[in-house]
Chains A and B, each alone.
Chain A
Amino acid sequence: AQKVTQAQTEISVVEKEDVTLDCVYETRDTTYYLFWYKQPPSGELVFLIRRNSFDEQNEISGRYSWNFQKSTSSFNFTITASQVVDSAVYFCALSIDSNDYKLSFGAGTTVTVRA
């Protein structure tokens, strides 16, 4: 079985502040994949990043960065210099080899960026 925990329900910041979203996962599989999705107020789910369990390199994409640490089973997401357009619900998800790669989602973190 696998589980994803996003302990932060809501985060509110002022524009230009940095915000870090926590994601902790549980799985016994050695091969797994981690994802982050963004759900803006319009409701669609937008894929942000995928990381496999064998690649612990951190990744940066513009103002977004991800910190994957297998030692703590965490895959945290940081938005640098936040903007109002970053206001959304962010979901962390996990899929494992032994479960047909079905996605297991965390409960989501609502980020509100105030101007």
Chain B
Amino acid sequence: NAGVTQTPKFQVLKTGQSMTLQCAQDMNHEYMSWYRQDPGMGLRLIHYSVGAGITDQGEVPNGYNVSRSTTEDFPLRLLSAAPSQTSVYFCASSYEAREGYTFGSGTRLTVV
């Protein structure tokens, strides 16, 4: 049982490049979320999904896209990377959101 798997673990992008952060879970969880972690700001919600085909914006959605075509996968796309998107990104999933979330190990992204 792998839990929540994020790839890659580290990535360096040049300003303007695009990329997709992958997130997969094998626990049949309906709820999935993407957070970014920045120093002194805790974790902030980017996008979330309450099931396949359903996504919605969180607190800081600008510059990011998501889709949820399957229950297992919830990729996060950076459309045109900016230095302000340098951060650590966490994917999380939950069977019942009120029970709390299981987090992936994170992706450290640097945009130069």
Q: Are B97 and A102 in contact (CB under 8 A)?
A: yes
Q: Are B31 and A101 in contact (CB under 8 A)?
A: yes
The reply to whether the CB of A63 lies closer than 8 angstroms to some CB of chain B is no
Distance in angstroms from B7 CB to nearest chain A CB is 15
Q: Are A35 and B100 in contact (CB under 8 A)?
A: yes
The reply to whether the CB of B53 lies closer than 8 angstroms to some CB of chain A is no
Please report the C-alpha to C-alpha distance between residue A27 and residue B40 in the assembled complex, in whole angstroms: 22
- Chain B residues contacting A101 (CB-CB under 8 Å) are 31, 94, 97-98
The verdict on A91 contacting B43 (CB below 8 Å), with A47-B102, A100-B48 known, is yes
Complex interface residues of chain A between 85 and 108 (CB less than 8 A to chain B): 91, 93, 95, 97, 100-108
Q: Are B40 and A107 in contact (CB under 8 A)?
A: yes
**Interface size grouping (class) on chain A:** 20 to 34
Distance in angstroms from B5 CB to nearest chain A CB is 12
Q: In the complex, how many residue pairs between chain A and chain B have their CB atoms under 8 Å apart?
A: 61
**Interface size grouping (class) on chain B:** 20 to 34
The verdict on A100 contacting B106 (CB below 8 Å), with A9-B40, A43-B88, A91-B43 known, is no
Please report the C-alpha to C-alpha distance between residue A104 and residue B35 in the assembled complex, in whole angstroms: 10
Q: Are A102 and B45 in contact (CB under 8 A)?
A: yes
Q: Are A103 and B105 in contact (CB under 8 A)?
A: no
- Chain B residues contacting A93 (CB-CB under 8 Å) are 43
Q: Are B43 and A105 in contact (CB under 8 A)?
A: yes
Show the binding face of B for A, using Cβ within 8 Å. Answer: 31, 33, 35, 40-45, 48, 50, 56, 58, 88, 90, 92, 94, 97-103, 105-106
